[in-house]
């Protein structure tokens, strides 16, 4: 049982490093939090591509034997949670194709909002798909181009797709990075000696001792070859962007730099603002580890209430914990987070967490705090109430499953069984980041989506993510 949305995916690429597969393995290891269902690596020795991918964690899928078989000094890797496409090994990435005597591997972080209509159009004209993930649409669109140049083919495909996508692509000779014009997903450029690296988060660079150079800009393609790095734009610079602010709130590792800011420091600011907006009389501030820890630290600093470790996370609980009955599901929450009775008994505690999605886990957790003897239990959330789905790569459920879409804050408070409940305001959240508000996507809180046109809404509805009782605004 998990009351948090799934992460989407993590990307890593490197060019010009002996035994590149080992470095990619480490990069993916640092990005494991972005996807735990499947992973894969494709490498090139300049003449041909090699691939290994499977379901499972990076440490389970790869070993010294299969890493040795991935020859070459360049390659890309991917960790995945399914957003579009089932959780099957055939959907594991990178996707690998041979066509017209050339090989191409593609790894994608994000979600295309017009993939359904594009797929139907491609199938009507003869394309045969091997997977159910939207990323394969990009490969088929590239194959339709008459150009022999892979970058030209890529630009042709990018003109047709809409949505969120950071991409890393590999040919025999090139490593390519792409970020969509809206800038939904992060993609970072780094350097290790004279070698170039690409990663979803800078924490991957830290592990391999590479230097963070800059972010790939929205609408930019970077191409890395033996001759070095070149950059080109495939879309004009936008006045507005749609950087996913939930990266700062929950998804990214706190030691990463995302959208120009260190995630831990942003989360601290979120917590500080939360304490000012929703003050409370309590003995201890208790973070829900790990994503609530930085915000709880900020809340403690601003409120003057001591931070205490009253909830301890078990880091060895996998996603496959079996929960066939309600009593076992309740115990599943306790397996992941154990409450320290000696800390909370007789105390007024304020729990700080990053979000509430369905509310089921939070409710059980509050019950466990009460059972441990807490005199009062208050809850503070470091973002606004999630009322709408995300179509850009976050696995938020449909609105009828989102507790804030169905109930008021007071009703959620009563359902959770807390003495008080406070969510950070939209204005408070946006005040904690440096970029202007119009540079961020806040669709899952306000229900206003970046892409215009009936076609986009039609494809959103095709994904059956939207119930009829909410209004979807576009603009």
Please report, in range form, the residues annotated as the binding site for [4Fe-4S] cluster: 244, 390, 441, 444
* Catalytic-role residue among 9, 39, 197, 383: 9
Q: What is the dihedral of CA 156, 157, 160, 164, to 10 degrees?
A: -130
Alpha helices in 283-325 (DSSP H): 293-303
The helix-helix angle for 115-124 and 454-462 (nearest 10°) equals: 90
Query: Phi first, then psi: what are they for 436, rounded to 5°?
Result: -60, 155
Q: Which residues contact 434 (CB under 8 A, 6 or more apart)?
A: 260, 261
Between CA 276 and CA 169 the distance in angstroms is: 45
139: CB partners within 8 A, 6+ apart: 95, 97, 104, 106
β-sheet with 102-112: strand ranges across: 95-99, 102-112, 163-170, 175-179, 220-225, 228-233
Alpha helices in 319-449 (DSSP H): 326-336, 341-344, 360-371, 403-406, 409-416, 426-431, 443-446
- Contact between 211 and 218 (Cβ < 8 Å): no
9 flagged as catalytic:
yes
Cα–Cα nearest to 103, from 47, 153, 144, 151: 47
DSSP 8-state assignment for residue 399? G
Binding site for Mg(2+): which residues? 291, 353-354
Exposed/middle/buried for 397, CB within 10 Å: 0-12, 13-18, 19+? middle
Which residues line the annotated binding site?
A: 244, 291, 353-354, 390, 441, 444
Catalytic residues: 9
């Amino acid at each position: 049982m998990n009351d948090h949305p799934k992460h989407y995916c993590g990307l890593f690429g490197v060019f010009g490093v002996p035994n590149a597969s080992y470095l990619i393995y480490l990069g993916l290891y640092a990005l494991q939090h972005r996807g735990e269902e499947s992973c894969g690596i494709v490498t090139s020795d300049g003449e041909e591509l090699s691939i290994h991918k499977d379901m499972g964690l990076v440490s389970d899928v790869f070993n010294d034997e299969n890493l040795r078989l991935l020859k070459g000094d360049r390659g890309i890797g991917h960790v995945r949670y399914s957003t579009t496409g089932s959780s099957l090994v055939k959907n594991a990435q990178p996707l690998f194709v041979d066509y017209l005597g050339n090989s191409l591997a593609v790894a994608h972080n994000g979600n295309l909002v017009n993939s359904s209509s594009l797929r139907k159009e491609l199938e009507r004209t003869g394309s045969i798909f091997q997977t159910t993930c939207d990323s394969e649409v990009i490969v088929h669109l590239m194959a339709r181009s008459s150009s022999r140049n892979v970058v030209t083919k890529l630009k042709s495909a990018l003109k047709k797709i809409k949505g969120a996508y950071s991409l890393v692509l590999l040919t025999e000779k090139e490593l390519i990075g792409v970020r969509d014009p809206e800038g939904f997903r992060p993609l970072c450029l780094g350097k290790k000696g004279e070698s170039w690296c690409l990663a979803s988060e800078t924490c991957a660079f830290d592990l391999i001792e590479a230097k963070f150079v800059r972010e790939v800009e929205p609408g930019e393609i970077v191409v890395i070859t033996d001759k070095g790095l070149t950059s080109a734009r495939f879309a004009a610079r936008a006045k507005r962007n749609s950087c996913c602010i939930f990266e700062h709130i929950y998804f990214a590792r706190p030691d990463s730099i995302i959208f120009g800011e260190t995630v831990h420091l942003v989360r601290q600011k979120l917590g500080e603002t939360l304490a000012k907006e929703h003050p409370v009389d309590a003995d201890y501030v208790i973070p829900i580890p790990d994503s609530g820890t930085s915000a709880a630290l900020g809340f403690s600093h601003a409120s003057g209430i001591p931070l205490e470790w009253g909830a301890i996370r078990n880091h060895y609980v996998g996603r496959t914990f079996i929960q066939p009955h309600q009593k076992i599901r309740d115990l599943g929450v306790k397996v992941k987070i154990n409450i320290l009775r000696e800390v909370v008994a007789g105390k007024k505690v304020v729990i700080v967490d990053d979000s509430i999605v369905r509310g089921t886990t939070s409710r059980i957790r509050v019950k466990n705090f009460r059972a441990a003897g807490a005199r009062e239990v208050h809850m503070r959330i470091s973002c606004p109430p999630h009322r709408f789905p995300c179509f850009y790569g976050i696995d938020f459920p449909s609105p009828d499953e989102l507790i804030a879409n169905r109930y008021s804050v007071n009703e959620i408070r009563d359902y959770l069984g807390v003495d008080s409940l406070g969510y950070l305001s939209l204005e408070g959240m946006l005040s904690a980041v440096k970029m202007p508000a119009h540079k961020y996507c806040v669709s899952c809180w306000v229900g206003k989506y970046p892409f215009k046109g009936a076609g986009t809404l039609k494809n959103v509805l095709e994904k059956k993510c939207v119930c009829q009782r909410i209004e979807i605004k576009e603009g």
